[in-house]
Chains A and B, each alone.
Chain A
Amino acid sequence: MIRLAAAIVRLWVRLYTIGLEATVRGRIRKEIEADLWEQLSGSNASGRPPKEAAAILLRCILGIPSDIQRMTEEPVSPTMQSLAKGMRWAALTIVVCEIIFFFLLGLAAFGFGAGVDGIVAWVTLLVAAASCIISKRHLEVAGVLLVSTYFGLVTSEIMMLGLTYAFWPWSVLGSPLPVSGSPLLLAGIMFLFSRWFSRKPSSSELFPFPA
C-alpha cells in the first residue's frame, strides 16, 4: 500500500514538472524522491503501513495547490515553448478554417442574395476585411467576420447546424473523442495550452521582500 502511495506521488510530480526547464524539473523530482525515501524507510521501521500510506497521499494532495502555483513561478522548458508556439498557430489556423467554412456554407445555401440581411452582412464583411488590412488586428476582425457570417448570410437553420458543429462536443463529425468533434473548442484548448506554456515566471511578484 505504501509503494502504491509513493508511486502516485512520483506520478503526480512527473506530471506537474513535465513542462518545466530540465534543471528545475530534475531538482524537484530528485528532492521529492529523497524525501519519499526518508519517509518510506521511516515507515518500514514504524510498522504501520496503512497509516503511513495515507500520510504520504495526504502530503501529496495538500500540496497540490502549491505545486500548481509553482508551475507558474518556474521557467518553462524550450521544447514546451516551441510546442506552445506551434499550438498557437494551429489554433489560429482552425479558427480561420472555421470562418471560411461558415462563409462557404452561407454562400452554398443562399448565394449572394439573402435579402436585406445579406446586404448588411456583405457590407459588414467588407468593412471588417478593410479594417483587418488597415489595423492588422486580425483576431478581433476574425471575430466580427464570424459573427456577421452567422447572423447575415446564414439562416437560423444553418446557423443552428453551424453552432452545433462549432461548439457541441459530440457534433456532426460523430467523433468518439468528445473534444475533437468540436473545432472551436479544440482551438480554445490549444490556445489556452499555448498561453500557459509561453508565460514568464512570476516568482518576483510572489515574494515582495525588500532588498
Chain B
Amino acid sequence: MRRKQGILLQIEMSILEVCQSRSLGGSPECHGFLIATLIKSTQEAKLLTAYGTLYRALSRLEKAGFLTSRWEDISSLGESRPRRRLYRITEAGSKALAESLSEVQEEAVSRIMQLPERGVA
C-alpha cells in the first residue's frame, strides 16, 4: 500500500510527539524502550509497541531527517548494561509533526462537516 505523500503514519506521529514532549521537558534524548513506554502510557495501550514496528519507524524517521541518533557513551556512566541508541527530534521533525497534526485535524473536521450530507445527522 502506497502512503499518502506528506502525511506521517500514526506510529511516526506518536514517536515524534514523545520526542518533542521530552525535548520541551528539558531532556531531548530518548531511547527505544523509553519511547515505547511513553507511547504506551499516553495511548493507554495494553502492550508496548512491537520491536519491528518501533525500530523500523525510528529508522525511517531518521532517514527522513526528522530524528538524529547516537550511541550513548556508557563508559562515563560506569554501568554494565547494553548501550542505548539515543534519539533526538530535529527542526524538520517538529515541523513535519505540526503539519501532520493540522492535516489530521482538518481531515477530521471535514469528515464531521460531511456527516449531515450523507444523511447521518
Contacts and interface: CB of A to CB of B under 8 A. Distances in A.
Interface string B49-63: 111111111011001
B56 A67 contact: yes
B1 to A, nearest CB: 10
Interface residues of B, number: 32
Interface stretch (B14-22, B28-36, B101-109, B110-118): B28-36
Contacts of B81: 34, 37, 41
A62 B53 contact: yes
A159 B33 CA distance: 60
B50 A203 contact: no
Contacts of A59: 47-51
Contacts of B43: none
Nearest to B4: A208
B64 A209 contact: yes
A79 B56 CA distance: 23
B76 to A, nearest CB: 17
Interface in B44-93: 47-57, 59-60, 63-64, 71, 81-85
B6 interface: yes
Contacts of A208: 2-3, 5-6
* Contact count band on A: 35 or more
Contact of B50 (A30, A60, A74, A209): A60
A64 B48 CA distance: 15
A63 B48 CA distance: 11
B52 A34 contact: no
A8 to B, nearest CB: 12
Contacts of A210: 5-6
A57 B53 CA distance: 14
Nearest to B85: A31
A70 B64 contact: no
B96 to A, nearest CB: 7
A34 B3 contact: no
Contacts of A39: 33, 48
B3 to A, nearest CB: 6
Contact of A203 (B47, B48, B60): B60
Contacts of A61: 50
16 contacts: A13-B51, A27-B85, A30-B82, A30-B85, A31-B85, A34-B32, A34-B82, A35-B31, A38-B31, A55-B47, A62-B53, A66-B56, A66-B57, A67-B56, A73-B56, A206-B3
A35 B3 contact: no
A34 B83 contact: yes
Nearest to A205: B2
A77 to B, nearest CB: 17
Contacts of A109: none
A64 B63 contact: no
Given A31-B85, A35-B33, A37-B82, A207 B48 contact: no
